[in-house]
Structure 1
Protein backbone atom coordinates (compact mmCIF):
# COMPACT_ATOMS: atom_id res chain seq x y z
CA UNK A 1 0.00 0.00 0.00
CA UNK A 2 1.39 3.42 -0.91
CA UNK A 3 1.35 6.41 1.41
CA UNK A 4 2.09 10.13 1.46
CA UNK A 5 3.81 11.26 4.66
CA UNK A 6 2.92 14.41 6.59
CA UNK A 7 5.49 15.55 9.18
CA UNK A 8 3.13 16.39 12.06
CA UNK A 9 3.94 14.52 15.28
CA UNK A 10 0.87 13.20 17.09
CA UNK A 11 0.30 10.68 19.86
CA UNK A 12 -0.99 7.15 19.35
CA UNK A 13 -4.22 8.08 21.12
CA UNK A 14 -4.83 11.09 18.87
CA UNK A 15 -4.01 9.05 15.76
CA UNK A 16 -6.49 6.29 16.65
CA UNK A 17 -9.18 8.83 17.53
CA UNK A 18 -8.61 10.66 14.26
CA UNK A 19 -8.80 7.48 12.20
CA UNK A 20 -12.30 6.80 13.51
CA UNK A 21 -13.50 10.05 11.93
CA UNK A 22 -11.21 10.37 8.90
CA UNK A 23 -12.50 10.06 5.34
CA UNK A 24 -9.06 8.84 4.22
CA UNK A 25 -6.95 6.18 5.90
CA UNK A 26 -3.57 7.02 7.43
CA UNK A 27 -0.66 4.93 8.61
CA UNK A 28 1.40 5.91 11.65
CA UNK A 29 5.18 5.66 12.05
CA UNK A 30 6.53 6.68 15.47
CA UNK A 31 4.44 9.85 15.69
CA UNK A 32 4.37 10.70 11.97
CA UNK A 33 1.05 10.36 10.13
CA UNK A 34 1.15 8.96 6.58
CA UNK A 35 -1.91 9.55 4.39
CA UNK A 36 -2.55 6.64 2.03
CA UNK A 37 -2.55 7.40 -1.67
CA UNK A 38 -5.05 5.85 -4.05
CA UNK A 39 -4.38 2.45 -5.62
CA UNK A 40 -5.23 0.94 -8.99
CA UNK A 41 -8.12 -1.40 -9.66
CA UNK A 42 -5.51 -4.08 -10.36
CA UNK A 43 -4.03 -3.60 -6.90
CA UNK A 44 -7.44 -3.88 -5.23
CA UNK A 45 -8.37 -6.96 -7.28
CA UNK A 46 -5.21 -8.84 -6.26
CA UNK A 47 -5.63 -7.80 -2.62
CA UNK A 48 -9.27 -8.91 -2.60
CA UNK A 49 -8.34 -12.24 -4.20
CA UNK A 50 -5.72 -12.77 -1.49
CA UNK A 51 -8.20 -12.07 1.31
CA UNK A 52 -10.86 -14.36 -0.18
CA UNK A 53 -8.38 -17.18 -0.82
CA UNK A 54 -7.05 -16.94 2.73
CA UNK A 55 -10.56 -16.86 4.21
CA UNK A 56 -11.50 -19.98 2.25
CA UNK A 57 -8.38 -21.83 3.43
CA UNK A 58 -8.94 -20.87 7.06
CA UNK A 59 -12.60 -21.80 7.30
CA UNK A 60 -13.12 -24.07 10.29
CA UNK A 61 -9.83 -23.11 11.96
CA UNK A 62 -8.98 -20.75 14.81
CA UNK A 63 -7.38 -18.28 12.36
CA UNK A 64 -9.07 -15.46 10.46
CA UNK A 65 -8.28 -13.44 7.36
CA UNK A 66 -8.49 -9.64 7.51
CA UNK A 67 -8.57 -7.21 4.59
CA UNK A 68 -6.90 -3.81 4.20
CA UNK A 69 -9.44 -2.09 6.47
CA UNK A 70 -7.70 -3.56 9.53
CA UNK A 71 -4.48 -2.08 10.91
CA UNK A 72 -1.55 -3.98 12.37
CA UNK A 73 0.17 -2.45 15.40
CA UNK A 74 3.92 -2.88 15.80
CA UNK A 75 5.74 -1.79 18.95
CA UNK A 76 9.54 -1.90 18.99
CA UNK A 77 12.56 0.16 20.00
CA UNK A 78 11.92 2.61 17.15
CA UNK A 79 8.42 3.42 18.44
CA UNK A 80 4.85 2.41 17.68
CA UNK A 81 3.67 1.90 14.11
CA UNK A 82 0.30 1.22 12.53
CA UNK A 83 0.11 -0.07 8.96
CA UNK A 84 -2.80 -1.24 6.81
CA UNK A 85 -1.60 -4.48 5.15
CA UNK A 86 -3.46 -5.52 2.00
CA UNK A 87 -4.33 -8.82 3.73
CA UNK A 88 -3.31 -10.65 6.87
CA UNK A 89 -4.02 -13.76 8.91
CA UNK A 90 -4.45 -13.65 12.67
CA UNK A 91 -4.88 -16.69 14.93
CA UNK A 92 -4.99 -14.81 18.28
CA UNK A 93 -7.21 -11.81 17.59
CA UNK A 94 -7.45 -8.57 19.55
CA UNK A 95 -10.71 -7.68 21.32
CA UNK A 96 -13.60 -7.03 18.88
CA UNK A 97 -13.83 -3.34 19.82
CA UNK A 98 -10.29 -2.54 18.72
CA UNK A 99 -9.42 -1.38 15.20
CA UNK A 100 -6.05 -3.15 14.91
CA UNK A 101 -4.35 -6.49 15.39
CA UNK A 102 -1.12 -7.19 17.29
CA UNK A 103 -0.33 -10.81 16.43
CA UNK A 104 -0.56 -11.52 12.69
CA UNK A 105 0.91 -14.81 11.50
CA UNK A 106 0.87 -13.82 7.82
CA UNK A 107 0.98 -10.43 6.08
CA UNK A 108 0.41 -9.86 2.35
CA UNK A 109 1.29 -6.67 0.49
CA UNK A 110 0.61 -6.03 -3.21
CA UNK A 111 3.59 -4.10 -4.55
CA UNK A 112 4.42 -1.94 -7.55
CA UNK A 113 7.58 -0.19 -8.68
CA UNK A 114 6.59 2.93 -6.74
CA UNK A 115 5.90 1.06 -3.47
CA UNK A 116 8.67 -1.53 -3.73
CA UNK A 117 11.21 0.46 -1.71
CA UNK A 118 8.97 0.87 1.35
CA UNK A 119 7.40 -2.62 1.16
CA UNK A 120 10.81 -4.31 0.86
CA UNK A 121 12.50 -1.84 3.21
CA UNK A 122 10.69 -0.03 6.03
CA UNK A 123 7.69 -2.33 6.20
CA UNK A 124 9.67 -5.53 5.78
CA UNK A 125 11.99 -4.59 8.64
CA UNK A 126 9.05 -3.71 10.89
CA UNK A 127 6.93 -6.74 9.98
CA UNK A 128 9.74 -9.24 10.48
CA UNK A 129 10.15 -8.01 14.06
CA UNK A 130 6.63 -9.17 14.95
CA UNK A 131 7.13 -12.24 17.20
CA UNK A 132 4.00 -14.02 15.94
CA UNK A 133 4.76 -13.56 12.22
CA UNK A 134 5.39 -16.76 10.23
CA UNK A 135 5.37 -15.25 6.73
CA UNK A 136 5.43 -12.05 4.71
CA UNK A 137 4.35 -12.20 1.05
CA UNK A 138 4.91 -9.43 -1.51
CA UNK A 139 2.76 -9.95 -4.61
CA UNK A 140 3.76 -8.36 -7.91
CA UNK A 141 1.36 -6.43 -10.17
CA UNK A 142 3.41 -6.68 -13.37
CA UNK A 143 4.13 -10.43 -13.38
CA UNK A 144 2.75 -13.66 -11.93
CA UNK A 145 5.24 -13.81 -9.09
CA UNK A 146 5.68 -13.15 -5.39
CA UNK A 147 8.50 -12.80 -2.88
CA UNK A 148 7.98 -14.89 0.24
CA UNK A 149 9.71 -14.37 3.59
CA UNK A 150 9.14 -17.43 5.77
CA UNK A 151 10.27 -17.93 9.36
CA UNK A 152 12.59 -20.88 9.84
CA UNK A 153 12.94 -20.55 13.61
CA UNK A 154 16.70 -21.11 13.66
CA UNK A 155 17.89 -17.56 14.38
CA UNK A 156 16.76 -14.15 15.57
CA UNK A 157 15.83 -10.96 13.72
CA UNK A 158 15.94 -10.97 9.92
CA UNK A 159 18.03 -14.15 10.04
CA UNK A 160 14.95 -16.02 11.34
CA UNK A 161 13.39 -15.62 7.87
CA UNK A 162 14.50 -16.99 4.53
CA UNK A 163 13.55 -15.33 1.26
CA UNK A 164 12.26 -17.16 -1.81
CA UNK A 165 10.56 -16.25 -5.08
CA UNK A 166 7.61 -18.13 -6.52
CA UNK A 167 6.46 -17.53 -10.09
CA UNK A 168 3.90 -18.90 -12.53
CA UNK A 169 0.19 -19.41 -12.01
CA UNK A 170 0.72 -23.02 -10.92
CA UNK A 171 3.27 -22.08 -8.23
CA UNK A 172 2.35 -22.65 -4.59
CA UNK A 173 3.02 -20.31 -1.67
CA UNK A 174 3.70 -22.45 1.39
CA UNK A 175 3.87 -21.05 4.92
CA UNK A 176 4.82 -24.15 6.84
CA UNK A 177 4.56 -22.79 10.36
CA UNK A 178 0.81 -22.05 10.09
CA UNK A 179 0.56 -24.36 7.96
CA UNK A 180 -0.97 -22.80 4.85
CA UNK A 181 -0.78 -23.28 1.09
CA UNK A 182 -2.02 -20.86 -1.59
CA UNK A 183 -1.94 -21.34 -5.33
CA UNK A 184 -0.38 -18.22 -6.82
CA UNK A 185 -2.95 -18.29 -9.61
CA UNK A 186 -5.71 -17.64 -7.05
CA UNK A 187 -4.25 -14.22 -6.37
CA UNK A 188 -4.41 -13.29 -10.05
CA UNK A 189 -7.87 -14.65 -10.79
CA UNK A 190 -9.54 -12.35 -13.35
CA UNK A 191 -6.66 -9.83 -13.09
CA UNK A 192 -5.08 -8.26 -16.18
CA UNK A 193 -1.43 -7.48 -15.53
CA UNK A 194 0.22 -4.27 -16.69
CA UNK A 195 3.11 -1.91 -16.15
CA UNK A 196 1.20 1.15 -14.92
CA UNK A 197 1.49 1.84 -11.18
CA UNK A 198 -0.24 4.13 -8.77
CA UNK A 199 1.79 6.91 -7.12
CA UNK A 200 3.45 6.13 -3.81
CA UNK A 201 6.25 7.00 -1.43
CA UNK A 202 9.68 7.01 -3.06
Structure 2
Protein backbone atom coordinates (compact mmCIF):
# COMPACT_ATOMS: atom_id res chain seq x y z
CA UNK A 1 0.00 0.00 0.00
CA UNK A 2 1.10 3.58 -0.67
CA UNK A 3 0.83 6.42 1.82
CA UNK A 4 0.23 9.95 0.59
CA UNK A 5 0.48 12.94 2.89
CA UNK A 6 -2.65 15.05 3.16
CA UNK A 7 -2.56 18.75 4.12
CA UNK A 8 -4.87 18.55 7.16
CA UNK A 9 -3.65 18.89 10.75
CA UNK A 10 -5.97 17.27 13.30
CA UNK A 11 -6.21 16.27 16.92
CA UNK A 12 -6.63 12.52 17.52
CA UNK A 13 -10.35 12.92 18.23
CA UNK A 14 -10.86 15.06 15.13
CA UNK A 15 -9.09 12.41 13.06
CA UNK A 16 -11.23 9.56 14.42
CA UNK A 17 -14.46 11.45 13.76
CA UNK A 18 -13.34 12.75 10.35
CA UNK A 19 -12.09 9.39 9.06
CA UNK A 20 -15.45 7.72 9.67
CA UNK A 21 -16.88 9.97 6.95
CA UNK A 22 -14.18 9.25 4.36
CA UNK A 23 -14.46 6.79 1.43
CA UNK A 24 -10.90 5.48 1.98
CA UNK A 25 -8.73 4.70 5.00
CA UNK A 26 -6.27 7.13 6.54
CA UNK A 27 -3.47 6.57 9.02
CA UNK A 28 -2.58 9.22 11.59
CA UNK A 29 0.77 10.37 12.97
CA UNK A 30 1.74 13.58 14.77
CA UNK A 31 -1.40 15.43 13.76
CA UNK A 32 -1.12 14.51 10.07
CA UNK A 33 -3.18 12.01 8.07
CA UNK A 34 -1.98 9.73 5.29
CA UNK A 35 -4.24 8.20 2.63
CA UNK A 36 -3.94 4.48 1.96
CA UNK A 37 -4.27 3.11 -1.55
CA UNK A 38 -4.45 -0.45 -2.87
CA UNK A 39 -1.53 -2.87 -3.00
CA UNK A 40 -0.49 -5.64 -5.40
CA UNK A 41 -2.38 -8.93 -5.64
CA UNK A 42 0.36 -11.10 -4.02
CA UNK A 43 0.19 -8.76 -1.02
CA UNK A 44 -3.53 -9.48 -0.73
CA UNK A 45 -3.10 -13.25 -1.14
CA UNK A 46 -0.49 -13.44 1.63
CA UNK A 47 -2.67 -11.43 4.01
CA UNK A 48 -5.62 -13.75 3.31
CA UNK A 49 -3.48 -16.86 3.80
CA UNK A 50 -2.13 -15.83 7.19
CA UNK A 51 -5.50 -14.49 8.37
CA UNK A 52 -7.24 -17.76 7.46
CA UNK A 53 -4.55 -19.88 9.13
CA UNK A 54 -4.59 -17.82 12.31
CA UNK A 55 -8.40 -17.74 12.41
CA UNK A 56 -8.58 -21.53 12.26
CA UNK A 57 -5.83 -21.93 14.84
CA UNK A 58 -7.31 -19.47 17.34
CA UNK A 59 -10.96 -20.46 17.08
CA UNK A 60 -12.39 -20.88 20.58
CA UNK A 61 -9.24 -19.59 22.31
CA UNK A 62 -10.44 -16.10 23.21
CA UNK A 63 -8.41 -14.27 20.58
CA UNK A 64 -9.50 -12.28 17.55
CA UNK A 65 -7.78 -11.97 14.18
CA UNK A 66 -8.12 -8.69 12.28
CA UNK A 67 -7.27 -7.79 8.68
CA UNK A 68 -6.43 -4.52 6.94
CA UNK A 69 -9.72 -2.73 7.68
CA UNK A 70 -9.04 -2.87 11.44
CA UNK A 71 -7.24 0.11 12.98
CA UNK A 72 -4.67 -0.17 15.76
CA UNK A 73 -3.95 2.68 18.15
CA UNK A 74 -0.50 2.95 19.71
CA UNK A 75 -2.27 4.97 22.41
CA UNK A 76 -5.53 6.90 22.77
CA UNK A 77 -3.71 9.84 21.15
CA UNK A 78 -2.21 7.82 18.31
CA UNK A 79 -0.44 7.14 16.13
CA UNK A 80 -3.14 5.09 14.38
CA UNK A 81 -2.22 2.51 11.74
CA UNK A 82 -3.88 -0.21 9.67
CA UNK A 83 -1.77 -3.40 9.94
CA UNK A 84 -2.24 -6.04 7.26
CA UNK A 85 -3.02 -8.60 9.99
CA UNK A 86 -3.09 -8.46 13.79
CA UNK A 87 -4.21 -10.60 16.70
CA UNK A 88 -5.48 -9.49 20.09
CA UNK A 89 -6.26 -11.76 23.02
CA UNK A 90 -7.11 -8.89 25.37
CA UNK A 91 -10.71 -8.82 26.69
CA UNK A 92 -10.91 -5.05 26.10
CA UNK A 93 -10.34 -5.58 22.37
CA UNK A 94 -12.96 -8.30 22.15
CA UNK A 95 -15.62 -5.61 22.66
CA UNK A 96 -13.95 -2.92 20.54
CA UNK A 97 -15.82 -1.48 17.56
CA UNK A 98 -13.45 1.14 16.13
CA UNK A 99 -9.86 0.75 17.35
CA UNK A 100 -7.70 -2.10 18.70
CA UNK A 101 -5.29 -1.01 21.43
CA UNK A 102 -3.86 -4.28 22.82
CA UNK A 103 -2.58 -6.55 20.03
CA UNK A 104 -0.04 -9.25 20.82
CA UNK A 105 0.89 -9.95 17.17
CA UNK A 106 1.11 -7.58 14.19
CA UNK A 107 1.93 -8.66 10.63
CA UNK A 108 2.86 -6.40 7.72
CA UNK A 109 3.25 -7.67 4.15
CA UNK A 110 6.04 -5.67 2.53
CA UNK A 111 5.77 -3.82 -0.76
CA UNK A 112 8.37 -1.56 -2.45
CA UNK A 113 6.46 1.61 -1.62
CA UNK A 114 6.11 0.93 2.11
CA UNK A 115 8.96 -1.41 3.09
CA UNK A 116 11.18 1.31 4.53
CA UNK A 117 8.25 2.75 6.49
CA UNK A 118 7.19 -0.68 7.83
CA UNK A 119 10.74 -1.47 8.95
CA UNK A 120 11.44 1.97 10.34
CA UNK A 121 8.98 4.52 11.66
CA UNK A 122 6.00 2.16 11.84
CA UNK A 123 7.97 -0.44 13.79
CA UNK A 124 9.16 2.27 16.20
CA UNK A 125 5.54 3.22 16.76
CA UNK A 126 4.43 -0.38 17.25
CA UNK A 127 7.15 -0.99 19.85
CA UNK A 128 5.37 1.48 22.12
CA UNK A 129 2.39 -0.90 22.41
CA UNK A 130 2.91 -2.68 25.74
CA UNK A 131 0.91 -5.77 24.78
CA UNK A 132 2.83 -6.38 21.54
CA UNK A 133 5.33 -9.21 21.75
CA UNK A 134 5.79 -10.13 18.09
CA UNK A 135 6.09 -8.15 14.84
CA UNK A 136 6.23 -10.06 11.54
CA UNK A 137 7.35 -8.80 8.14
CA UNK A 138 6.52 -10.92 5.09
CA UNK A 139 8.03 -10.18 1.70
CA UNK A 140 5.62 -10.37 -1.23
CA UNK A 141 8.08 -11.01 -4.07
CA UNK A 142 10.04 -13.89 -2.52
CA UNK A 143 9.62 -16.43 0.26
CA UNK A 144 11.12 -14.62 3.21
CA UNK A 145 9.62 -13.97 6.65
CA UNK A 146 11.18 -11.92 9.47
CA UNK A 147 9.87 -12.21 13.02
CA UNK A 148 10.83 -9.68 15.68
CA UNK A 149 10.12 -10.85 19.23
CA UNK A 150 10.56 -9.48 22.72
CA UNK A 151 13.09 -11.51 24.73
CA UNK A 152 13.29 -11.95 28.49
CA UNK A 153 15.34 -8.75 28.76
CA UNK A 154 12.71 -6.69 26.94
CA UNK A 155 14.81 -6.41 23.78
CA UNK A 156 13.56 -7.11 20.25
CA UNK A 157 15.29 -10.04 18.55
CA UNK A 158 15.05 -11.09 14.89
CA UNK A 159 14.40 -14.62 13.61
CA UNK A 160 14.35 -14.98 9.82
CA UNK A 161 12.79 -17.77 7.74
CA UNK A 162 13.25 -18.46 4.04
CA UNK A 163 12.54 -21.25 1.55
CA UNK A 164 16.27 -21.86 1.23
CA UNK A 165 16.50 -22.80 4.90
CA UNK A 166 15.84 -26.42 5.84
CA UNK A 167 15.63 -28.34 9.07
CA UNK A 168 18.12 -30.98 10.20
CA UNK A 169 16.15 -33.69 8.39
CA UNK A 170 15.98 -31.57 5.19
CA UNK A 171 12.26 -30.85 5.45
CA UNK A 172 10.68 -27.48 4.76
CA UNK A 173 11.23 -24.87 7.45
CA UNK A 174 8.25 -23.94 9.60
CA UNK A 175 7.42 -20.39 10.62
CA UNK A 176 6.80 -20.02 14.35
CA UNK A 177 4.62 -17.32 15.96
CA UNK A 178 5.02 -18.00 19.71
CA UNK A 179 2.86 -15.00 20.65
CA UNK A 180 -0.16 -17.07 19.59
CA UNK A 181 1.39 -20.57 19.77
CA UNK A 182 1.17 -21.02 15.99
CA UNK A 183 3.40 -22.88 13.54
CA UNK A 184 3.05 -23.58 9.83
CA UNK A 185 5.20 -24.39 6.76
CA UNK A 186 6.49 -21.20 5.17
CA UNK A 187 4.89 -22.23 1.86
CA UNK A 188 1.42 -22.00 3.44
CA UNK A 189 1.81 -18.24 3.79
CA UNK A 190 2.53 -17.99 0.05
CA UNK A 191 -0.21 -20.29 -1.24
CA UNK A 192 -1.53 -19.08 -4.66
CA UNK A 193 1.05 -16.29 -4.81
CA UNK A 194 2.58 -15.63 -8.23
CA UNK A 195 6.08 -14.19 -8.03
CA UNK A 196 7.34 -11.67 -10.64
CA UNK A 197 9.48 -14.17 -12.57
CA UNK A 198 6.54 -16.57 -12.78
CA UNK A 199 4.13 -14.04 -14.28
CA UNK A 200 4.19 -14.20 -18.09
CA UNK A 201 1.11 -12.08 -18.66
CA UNK A 202 1.30 -8.67 -20.26
CA UNK A 203 2.28 -6.03 -17.69
CA UNK A 204 -0.99 -4.18 -18.31
CA UNK A 205 -2.87 -7.12 -16.82
CA UNK A 206 -0.82 -7.28 -13.63
State the TM-score bracket (shorter-chain normalisation): 0.7 to 0.9
Residue of 180, 185, 188 corresponding to 1:186:
188
What TM-score results when the alignment is normalised by the length of structure 1? 0.86
Displacement after TM superposition at 1:21 (Å): 1.8
Higher deviation after alignment, 164-173 or 54-63:
164-173
The correspondence of residues 17-56 of structure 1 with structure 2, limited to 5 A, is: 17-56=17-56
Stretches of 4+ aligned residues off by more than 3 angstroms: none
8 Å contact from structure 1 (residues 94, 101) kept in 2: yes
Please report how far the alpha carbon of residue 95 of structure 1 lies from its aligned counterpart in structure 2 after TM superposition: 6.0
Where does residue 139 of structure 1 map in the other structure?
A: 138
Whether 1:60 aligns to 2:55 is: no
Deviates further, 133-142 or 14-23: 14-23
CA spacing shift, 1:128–1:97, aligned 2, 3 Å: closer
Q: Which runs of 5+ in 1 are unaligned?
A: 197-202
Relative to 1, partners in 2 of residues 1:28 and 1:113: Cα closer, same or farther, differing over 3 Å? same
Provide the aligned C-alpha RMSD in A: 2.0
Aligned-residue offset at 1:3 = 1.2
Instruction: Measure the CA separation in 1 of the matches of 2:159 and 2:196.
Output: 23
Tell me the CA shift for residue 180 of structure 1.
2.3
How far apart in 1 are the matches of 2:182 and 2:108? 17
TM-aligned CA deviation for residue 82 of structure 1: 0.5
Among 156, 167, 185, the alignment partner of 2:162 is 167
1:57-97 alpha-carbon deviations (Å, 9 max, x no partner): 11120111111110000029xx6211000000100142635
